[in-house]
Structure 1
Amino acid sequence: MPETGTPPTDILKPIKWPLRLTLWGMTAERITRAFWPLWSLVITALALLMLGVQDMVAVEWVWAAGAGFAAALLWALWRGARMLRLPRRAEAVARLDSTLRGNPIQAALDDQAIGAADVGSQAIWQAHQQRMRERLARAKAVEPDLRVAKADPFALRYVALLAFAAALVFGSFLRVSSVTAMGPTGVDLAAGPAWEGWMEPPGYTRLPSVYLNDITAPGIEVPEGAQITLRMYGEVGQLSVDESISDRAPVPEQAQDTAQDFAVVRSGTLAIEGPGGRAWDVSMKPDAAPTVTRGGEIESSYEGDAQIPFSASDDYGVVAGTARIELALDAVDRRYLLAADPEPRDPIEVPLPMPIAGDRSDFTETLVENFSQHPWANLPVTLTISVQDEAGQTGTSDPEVITLPGRRFFDPLAAAVIEERRALLWTRDNVPEIGQLLRAISHRPDDLFRSAVPYLRLRQILRDIEGVGTGMSDDRQAEVAKAMWDLAITLEEGDLASAMERLQRAQERLSEAMKNGASDQEIAELMQELREATDDYLRQLSRQAQQNAEQNPDMAQSQETMEMSQNDLQRMMDRIQELMEEGRMAEAQEALEQLQQLMENMQVTEGQQGQSPGEQAMEGLGETLREQQGLSDEAFRELQDQFNPGQQGPQGQQGQQGQQGQQQGQSGQGRDGQQGRDGQGQQQGQGQGDQQGQQGQGGQQSLEDSLAERQRQLRDELNRQSQNLPGAGTEPGEAARDALRRAEEAMDGAEEALRNDDLAGAIDEQSQAMEALREGMRNLGEAMAQQQQQNQGQQGQAQGGNPGQQRDPLGRNSGANGNIGTDENMVQDEDVYRRARELLDEIRRRSGEGERPDEELEYLERLLERF
């Protein structure tokens, strides 16, 4: 009979290394759990020494803390030795065996208890033993569990690790040796340096701080405005400082101070004289003033938007800029109503746009502003562009005489009204001549005015001018000028009724031409007239919608609207022209009638053309997020100034604070309904900048009040945007509204913190507001995507009536749900592709027959090009 047992050494040989590694891991576990207080105390003491805490307190406190740490270390060592129990081999075998299926180690070590005399039982036992030993070959070492959370419920070990990490970043191992100099007799026994020094560049340079003890070179390059901090240890008078790089007065007693701080204002020498002293030749790198140039061609759009390109650069970055525009009176053509001396007006100051992201050390931007309604529009002006860096230095471009871009009026009557408006704003002494000229211009109204409305408005303007005379007040002058501007716009572009009349006339003429069989040339001219009339009507419709929205911002549109993009209308007109060229006049006539019906029922919703409400909401929220980011950056810079007042001079602070309101006004440009709020923010910023030199200590509180007021305005703007968000009723839409509500609450908390002079709390609240805004924008994007998926296939759906009985603009029946098109099979044959091939071959055959008429051959060629 075969043997029933095998020596354990042979059985455990396949798991020799897994068993050994498991044993070592268990040893590491028990050592960690027994001695974690010991190494926590050690690294805590090392971190405190690296941070130089021993140099900040009295020697007695250092010795008392050292005695306490020594007692704690002895206790931790005694506790670890008492708790430590090294694992035995049997425990390692049991742990390894418990991780294997069926406990193969224990099974392999067992002996057969019964049935040893039975051959069948013995065969089963040997098979079982063989299977268990095969499992041993797949054994892997058990990973040790080094967690000590149960033994350290307060996570004190992590506190020690955090202190050590902070010491690695902000401390130095060289500071540890300074503790050896603190003897009970007060004798300086330090083996390390007896002094320490740091060079901290200004924050805007984004350069790292330098530990002067590590600088062994004789020379060092330092940026202008860098802060030098020196600390001397040991007996007072043994070390002294000799420097010629600051603006401090040379006082012998001051040179031996143990703590010295000064800013670098010039190149020179810095020396620490005494035992272990050192000297450097300091080369100051001056902070160059920013430069700005106006380059490129100045352009103006049809609406009068001026585009003024400029380039700016600075060694560390430009933070703000201003464009100043003054009337170039010597270059003005002083004839007619401009011959009199103009009334004094303040120069135009516009904040320059800055790159939102990226490097500001060298960039090119374009100032976009509309000066059309200003009295100096289209007159020579002097343009001066200035920029500032964070040090408060200013760079100014060379004054340049340009023609201030403004809107051009091509209608003679509108141009005349604008010219008289400019004369009124030039000086009120021109009022009598303006009245006479307006009466002369409108002497024969039937030949000039398309309708009675603009004529009546002109008569009202005349009554206002002649009734007040040269004693017109400023407010009255502004009201009359605004009325003249609106009249000129109406005369230039017409109103909605005239645009609709022109469109109907173009449609009727085209319809008559199709009925009477006009030539291709006549039809092409009439189609071009229809396109121009359609563009004019859409422009007037958009203007009216924008004016209604400005006058009634809270009024919701109650009636149903049909939204079509200009590209859709263009495709419909292209299709009409194509049908006429193909000779299918009946279908073209029907499509034209459908187009006419759509144009009569069309409305343009508030906002930019081509943008959906969801896109407008996303754009508005993105602008709000950028404004909140800028406000948070200003609060952070103010907090830095409170703790590091030496990094920025008073002049730089005033220059920076004087631009805050202007940045607020700049960031809101282009958003609907925000001009008033942005203008208010700009006025606040300018007023605050002018008061810096007068308020002294009160300027700090004034700045914080300004930040709080701007924070309140931003919260109100977010509240207005939240009321018109799309996606209501959907899960992502409600999530977006909830996120924006949290953002409003955080903004409210930031405003309160700013009013209470708690800049740190305000920055924290602003951070929460920005995070909530980003979450809201993400949820709103998901809601828009979900809504777009649900509305796929619905864009061509018409309004009213039975959807199944409606027809699209091209005369086809709508689908079952009113959609343009149909789901029915357009080809009744079974072999669709074969039928399509036959039709294509027939078209090719006919196009090759030269005896066919030219019109038919051209039509067949167009079919081949398309298909």
Structure 2
Amino acid sequence: MTKRKPDPVLSSTDPALRKVSRKISQTRLGLVVERGLRAFWPALSLLAVAVAALAFGLAELPAGVFWGIVLLWALALCATLAIGFRAFHWPSRAEALARVDETLPGRPLTALGDGMALGGDDPATAALWQAHMTRMAERAKAAKAVRPDPDLAPRDPYALRMTAILLLVVALVFGAPARMFNPGAVPGGTAPALAAMGPSWEGWAEPPRYTGQPGLYLNNLKTDTLTLPEGTRFSFRFYGDASAIGFTESVSSPAAVPQSEATTDVSRRDFEAVQNGIVEISANGGRKFDITIAPDNAPEVALTGSVERRADGTMVLPFHASDDYAVTSGQAKIKLDLAAIPRKFGLKIDPEPRETLIFDLPMPYTGSRSDFDGSLVEQAEKHPWANLPVKLELDVTDGRGQTGSSGWQEITLPGRRFFDPLASALIEMRQDLLWNRENGPYVAEILKALNNRATDLIRSTEVRVLLRGVIGRLDQGLETPGVRDELADMLWQMAELVEDGGLSNALERMQRAQERLSEAMRNGASQDEIDKLMQELKEATDDYIRMLAERNKDQGDQPPQDGQQQGQQITGDQLQQMMDEIQRLMKEGLMAEAQELLEQFNRMMENMQVTQGQGEGNQQMQSLRDTLRDQQELSDEAFRDLQNGEQGQGQQGQGQQGQSQGQQNGQGQQSGEGQPGQGNGSSGQSLSERQRALRQELDRQKGLLPDLGSEESDRAQKRLNDAGEAMERAEEALREGDNGRALDNQAEAIQSLRDGMQALNNAQNGEERRQAGQQGEQGEARGGEGGQNGQREVPRDPLGRSAGDGNRVGTDENMLQGENPYGRARDLLDEIRRRQAERDRSADERDYLDRLLDRF
């Protein structure tokens, strides 16, 4: 145990510890400053504001206003002082010692004040305690004074103290501190003081800010000849007797009247220089300035190249702009060139008036704006004028407000180009609709013609649904521009779905990419568009090759039988080389040769067979069974929903009337909120949304089915297509709230699914029997040639491999054994190349290696 002793630092005779006592006293003084600032910073801020106000001439205000401000300030000062005195507490020496002790390891100052409570009679204990005290004394000698830390930020969250300090500094630097004690002792204080000074003047010339040139104080200039930018602002101030100062100038506009604000002895002149001339002041220290005005020419702008169209329809407009000083802003204005548009089909009638299309030209963020090149990149592919003749004008403005123009030029407004014929037709209908709302009936007739052959022309079920929705809205009429724009967005969405695909079958995506690329080459598409389509073809081809690998995965590494080896064998490297060659020919402008090679590539890919194993067929059949089960469950929910709706309506006749009215109100609507057929399933989706998801899943499964080339296979595809169409009709009925009609269509979809599954099963069984029959015939042919057990002994080469059946070259054995046969093949090829490069080998050996490389 320990007991406290008197302050060991004060009572110590050690000079080092006496120095620590001074550090504690300094820290105590710092605590006084710290607590004083915390308590009195509002009062000190008020004092700083008062000094700044007096330095800027507060005492020159009318007496009533001045003393009113002083009274309010005094009350605020008294309140802050009272709060400060209440919050201030004088620090003790013990608090200062504790503050210093906190900075030392082990708190030695506190330890030096401790004493032994027990064990003082034991010499060993006393010696240990003395060693402890000696060590604490040594640590205490490292003590330093602690700086005050007012930490005013939490107490002044709005930084009012900093504002007061700033005002005080500005007043001392730029104000006149003498005004606090003698307001009339400084220039401009009172009229008698100015009068005592005699006539004098001051003048400034300030060039426009956009020129970047500095302002001039005319009194300090050594020269009387000045060259200044047009628009320079002159300001003169005259002190003393105004009648004793003569002033003339001839640089401002003759129509301009200089503003003047004069009293008995002070006047001012402000004007803008726009022409060459003189400025003369005749008085004590007068000057005559010969002014030359540098003209400020209007800015210039021009196109530096043709307008470019990127693959996604983005417009790229290169331009060059220049000015004497800086271009501040610019615009690109586009208006329809009606005289250059072929007036036929939907464009035959006059267009609805539209405002000029305006884009802001990009300005450099860094560097000079006096002379620069830029490119305007904007999205205009959805504008009604996209891909139509327009007129373009570039305008730029400088800091003086002068404008430069490139003049109107005829261009075609860049927009996205659709190479699929159906997508192109939909975009044309969209353009006709946006051209004038009176084209609504005409567009509706064209879309109805497409809808009449929707199953043959439109692969995507979603596009067919959107098409029918657009037709329904067009039949209702286009009363407002908002309805027209909404239908235009739907047509754009349909065109994108058709153009970009969305097909689940990789082979169809690849063929679609080939058709679009071929169409683009025939229509003279830009290089950027061709590059994009070529990239899409590469990606679609990669997907198709990946699909082949996945479908053949279940067959293992065994080679196909003779009856199956009818497709053309081609490697990924060969495909890549062919596509690279097509791209090279297109870049060199040899479109005819590229088109021919593309057709050859198309025929090669069509000859590739997609084989399918038994395991995959079972998996596809199971997926169709799951779809059938989900459709039955959805039909049961729709039936229960219909029953609940009839019970809530009461009488059967009223229910039929309500159902008819619901169908009329729901016609053309896209959502089914509030309709009887829109009950929620377990997933929270409406019945129509679940029906739509089920139909999309069936579309995906149909794309994965193989084409077995039999009547049963064709029948299976037809019945599954019928099921998809019935699901589509059920979806529309559920959206309109007609659950009765939806149940009929769902029943038709269920029956079509069953028929399609049965036909697919028959087709798969027939294919298996055909393959088994081919294998049996081949076995009989080999077995009839003798040998043990009816089999002919096949000759083998020295390595033990079968030399073939005598009618063909090769072997029936699986040569691709091991974990990574293709990797081993690459290693062998690399080894052959390495050995062929060794010059010390014999000529015969290197010749043999050359033949191997040429072969493989």
Length-normalised TM-score, structure 1: 0.42
Length-normalised TM-score, structure 2: 0.42
